Structure formats: C-alpha cells, structure tokens
Structure 1
Amino acid sequence: MKHSILDSLSLPAPKEIEAASRGQRELATYLSTKQETQKISIQDAHNETHQIELPTSALTLLMAVLGELAVGNAVQVVPVHTELTTQEAANILNVSRPHLVKLLEQGQLPYHKTGRHRRVLFADLMQFKDKRAQESNDAMQELADQGQDLNFY
C-alpha cells in the first residue's frame, strides 16, 4: 500500500512544546523580514558552532511551524504541487469522499485523472478551502448586518 505524504503525523511531546514555544519567541526577537537571507548559528553534538545562511522566508515558515508546535498541534510541510487522492482531499475539507467527488464533477474544484483515479492538487484544494471560508464569513457578516438593521440583539 502506498503511503501518502499526509499519513504520518504525531503530536509533539510536552518537552517539544516547551522548546517550540521558547524557540519561536527567541526567533521572533531576531528575525528581520527586511533581508532576503539571514545567518543563524547552531551547535553540533561536539558543541562546535556552525553558521548557516537561510532565506528569510524559510525562517518565517519555521516561526509558524514553531507556533503550531507550541500549542500542541502536529505540523507537516506539504509541497503545493502535491497530488492528493479524493479521500485525502475530503479529509482535509472535512467532508465525505462522495461529496468531494460531487464537487469535482460539478467543476467547483479542479482535478485531473491519473488512469481511472481522480487527483487534486494541494494548492487548488487550499484555494478552494480559502474561498469557501471567505464565502462563509461574508454570509455570516451579512446576517449580522441584517440583525443590526432589524434591531435583533
């Protein structure tokens, strides 16, 4: 059985949560988003210090990962061009696979076929998810505005 890129997630241990929280705070203190690259130092097992130059975008992503770990969430980096099965895509959207297939067949979400199997690009799925969340927020705001107009408290 082929393993998906989304298969192996594990929650961080308490010591990892603490280290992530501390690391995020310390990284935020020194991170300068005005530079394209930045140098960081790490110590190896022999306490020798090594400087590494990294893109600022990678350090910003690292800060986001540390933030998620600090609150106890599992994190996985998924390349935007990753192809997902319909079940994986349905799991991310928290819908049933048949409902996801219906969305695909209605053209609401792009997909392509690999043999007989439908595949959804992770980037397309995230764009769809964001659009759906925005539409939901807009509808909630419209309801709140109507409630205010009608003096419903």
Structure 2
Amino acid sequence: MLAYRHRPPNEEESSIARNSKQLLAQYARENESLTVHVTDQEGTIELPAGAVSLLMDILGAMASGQGITLIPENAELTTVQAAEVLNVSRPFLIKLLEEGKIPYRKVGKHRRILMEDVMNYKHAIDEERESILDQLVADAQEQNMGYEK
C-alpha cells in the first residue's frame, strides 16, 4: 500500500508552509492545472488541477501545525488504521462493520476495509451532522432563542 505520513511540522516548517500556501494561492485557479517554473534547475513542472488542490490542502494543514497522512482510496486498511482515519476506537469501528454500516472483507481472521468505503462513511456522517445542526439552528430561530436569520 502506498501511504505517506509526515509528523506534525516544527515551527520553521509551519512558517514555510504558510508562506508557500499564500504564494501558491495567488496563482492557483480552481480546476485548472498549474505550470511551475523551477529557477534552480531551469525547468518547469506541470501540476494537474487535483495535485494543486491537494498541495494547497497539505500546505494549509502544515501551516496550522498538523501532520499529514496520504492514503490512496483503493488501499485496504486494517481495523486499527480505519479507526484512526475515523478518529474512533477500534471496538466502535468493529461494531460499525458488524452492523453493515461500512463494507469489509475478511482475510483469514482479519478484517480489511477499503479506504474509499471509510471515506464514504465519514462523508455520510458529516452530512448527517450538518443536517442535524441546521435543523437545531432552524428550531432555535423559530422559537426566538437568540439566533437571528
């Protein structure tokens, strides 16, 4: 499995990332590739739109002091890895698997979960949370509880 993990950056790396993101943001356009000129090597690099967007996200995370883990969507994760991605306990993840909320397969006695399925579940849960919060705000506004429209 191709995976890359970078621990949280030190202060200097965070500062460089912050500056780099600000500079890159001046040139990056949504859904457009970007050609970068490398002055030290007298060459250019063509970055596809998806890579530019990903690079902006990586620099943003590093600028705020967060570590980064990149895992391809088609990668198979162990239950420990999937639990880490979802930020839940392994027993809670296993409960989700057994309830059929996330597909998995067994390799011997071990469960394997596709990264894509983990992210689909995370996206669905995030959407559900957002919907519930929107409903709570609407209810509070309707009952004049200090929230204005």
- Give yes or no for TM over 0.5: yes
- Select the residue among 27, 30, 34 that pairs with 1:38: 34
Superposed displacement of residue 4, structure 1: 9.3
Matched, 1:72 2:65: yes
Superposed displacement of residue 114, structure 1: 1.6
Matched, 1:25 2:22: yes
Question: What is the SS of the residue equivalent to 1:76?
Answer: strand
Superposed displacement of residue 13, structure 1: 1.6
Gaps of 5+ in 1: none
Q: Find the counterpart in structure 2 of residue 139 from structure 1.
A: 132
Gaps of 5+ in 2: none
Counterparts of 1:89 and 1:29 in 2: how far apart (Å)?
36
> Kindly tell me: are residues 9 and 40 of structure 1, through their superposed partners in 2, closer, same or farther at Cα, counting changes over 3 Å?
closer
Counterparts of 1:64 and 1:97 in 2: how far apart (Å)?
27
Superposed displacement of residue 34, structure 1: 6.0
* CA deviation vs aligned residue, 1:24-43 (integer Å, no higher than 9, x gap): 111111224464x4321224
Q: What TM-score comes out, normalization by structure 2 length?
A: 0.85
Contact 2:31-2:50 within 8 A present in 1 as well = no
Matched, 1:61 2:39: no
**Percent identity of equivalent pairs:** 36
Counterparts of 2:82 and 2:41 in 1: how far apart (Å)?
44
Q: What TM-score comes out, normalization by structure 1 length?
A: 0.83
Q: Find the counterpart in structure 2 of residue 112 from structure 1.
A: 105
